[in-house]
């Protein structure tokens, strides 16, 4: 009998067969380029249409994001979808209160200068215009029976990957997104009544861009400038 070369590292319960579709090199390159072209349409949008978006579409995007790899497969993210006008209003009010202090007192000049090309300020009307505010919470631990805590591993990395997949899924569906980080974001835990083991990670307004939406003329660095093979 042939012994698999993997056998020594393979515990008996790791037994589900795994394979992937194999593409010819040209077909693989075409597929990547098509994905890249979809992602190139994504811009951080601050001007949303109030046109409604079906809830099923957001659910489908979360379903895709939820496939992200995570530390020990704990899936340490929760996606809280806000489409209630009263909650959106409360979130806008609280975010603008923090952002006003940040822009006027907390952010050093160097940071404000870095943001100047983006054109942001403390006003966040998109928090009420966008049909959805998707708030990603990072789960640091989950309460377990008997008062113990089930710990997450690599929660920030895991949430970052899940949020990235969510943005990609929205983009693929033709939905505009913004990665908004009102700071500090503790107010989201209060308003959305989240348990203590969860911390707000990212606030993502989602919807269609307004007909007159504009974005800054940003230039992305070429991939070759952010990549290197082996030692430089
Ligand atoms: N959180 C603030 C400031 C801000 C910070 C960075 I870094 C940005 O890329 C954009 C904005 C805000 O949302 O306005």
Is residue 19 situated within a structural domain?
no
Is residue 33 situated within a structural domain?
no
List the domain range (segments joined by +) for residue 192. 43-210
Find the helix packing angle between 155-172 and 25-40, rounded to 10°: 90
CA of 12 to the centre of ligand 1 (A): 49
Predicted confidence at residue 2, as pLDDT, reads 47
Whether 120 is in the pocket of ligand 1, judged by its Cβ within 6 Å, is: yes
Is residue 152 situated within a structural domain?
yes
pLDDT category at 9 given cuts 50, 70, 90 is confident
Question: How would you classify residue 35: left for phi > 0, otherwise alpha for psi between -120 and 50, otherwise beta?
Answer: alpha
Q: What average pLDDT does range 198-205 have in this prediction?
A: 98
Is residue 189 situated within a structural domain?
yes
pLDDT tens-digit map of 99-136: 999 999 999 999 999 999 999 999 999 999 999 999 99
| Distance separating alpha carbons of residues 190 and 69, to the nearest angstrom | 28
Is residue 101 situated within a structural domain?
yes
In a mutational test of the pocket of ligand 1, which residue from 181, 200, 216 has the highest number of ligand atoms less than 8 Å from its CB? 181
Could you tell me the CATH number of the domain that includes residue 69? 3.40.109.10
Is residue 178 situated within a structural domain?
yes
Q: Tell me if the pTM is above 0.75.
A: yes
pLDDT tens-digit map of 160-181: 999 999 999 999 999 999 999 9
pLDDT category at 8 given cuts 50, 70, 90 is confident
Is residue 11 situated within a structural domain?
no
pLDDT category at 4 given cuts 50, 70, 90 is low
| Distance separating alpha carbons of residues 89 and 127, to the nearest angstrom | 7
- The gap between the terminal CA atoms of the chain, to the nearest Å, is 46
Closest atom of ligand 1 to CA, residue 120: 14
Q: Is the pLDDT of residue 5 over 80?
A: no
Predicted confidence at residue 3, as pLDDT, reads 52
The DSSP bridge partners found for residue 78 are 137
Residue 77 or 4, more confident: 77
pLDDT tens-digit map of 30-59: 999 999 999 999 999 999 999 999 999 999
Predicted confidence at residue 112, as pLDDT, reads 98
Q: What is the biggest distance separating any 2 CA atoms in the chain, rounded to whole angstroms?
A: 73
Q: Is the pLDDT of residue 1 over 60?
A: no
Q: Residue ranges of the alpha helices (H) in the chain?
A: 25-40, 55-65, 85-101, 109-115, 126-129, 155-172, 186-191
Is residue 126 situated within a structural domain?
yes
Q: How many domains does the chain have?
A: 1
| Distance separating alpha carbons of residues 65 and 166, to the nearest angstrom | 5
């Amino acid at each position: 009998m042939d012994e698999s070369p993997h056998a020594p590292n393979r515990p008996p319960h790791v037994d589900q067969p795994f394979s992937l579709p194999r593409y010819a090199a040209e077909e693989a390159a075409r597929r990547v380029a098509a994905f890249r072209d979809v992602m190139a349409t994504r811009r951080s949008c601050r001007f949303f249409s109030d046109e409604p978006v079906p809830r099923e579409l957001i659910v489908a995007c979360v379903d895709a994001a939820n496939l992200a790899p995570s530390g020990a497969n704990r899936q340490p993210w929760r996606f809280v979808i806000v489409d209630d006008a009263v909650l959106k209003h409360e979130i806008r009010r609280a975010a603008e209160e923090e952002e006003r202090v940040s822009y006027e007192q907390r952010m050093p000049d160097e940071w404000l200068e870095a943001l100047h090309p983006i054109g942001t300020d403390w006003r966040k009307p998109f928090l009420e215009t966008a049909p959805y505010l998707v708030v990603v919470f990072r789960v640091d631990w989950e309460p377990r029976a008997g008062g113990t805590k089930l710990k997450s591993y690599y929660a920030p990395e895991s949430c970052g990957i899940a949020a990235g997949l969510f943005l990609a899924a929205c983009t693929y569906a033709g939905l505009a997104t913004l990665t908004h980080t009102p700071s500090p974001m503790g107010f989201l835990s209060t308003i959305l009544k989240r348990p203590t083991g969860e911390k707000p990670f990212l606030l993502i307004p989602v919807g269609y861009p307004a007909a007159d939406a504009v974005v800054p003329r940003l230039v992305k660095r070429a991939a070759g400038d952010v990549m290197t093979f082996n030692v430089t």
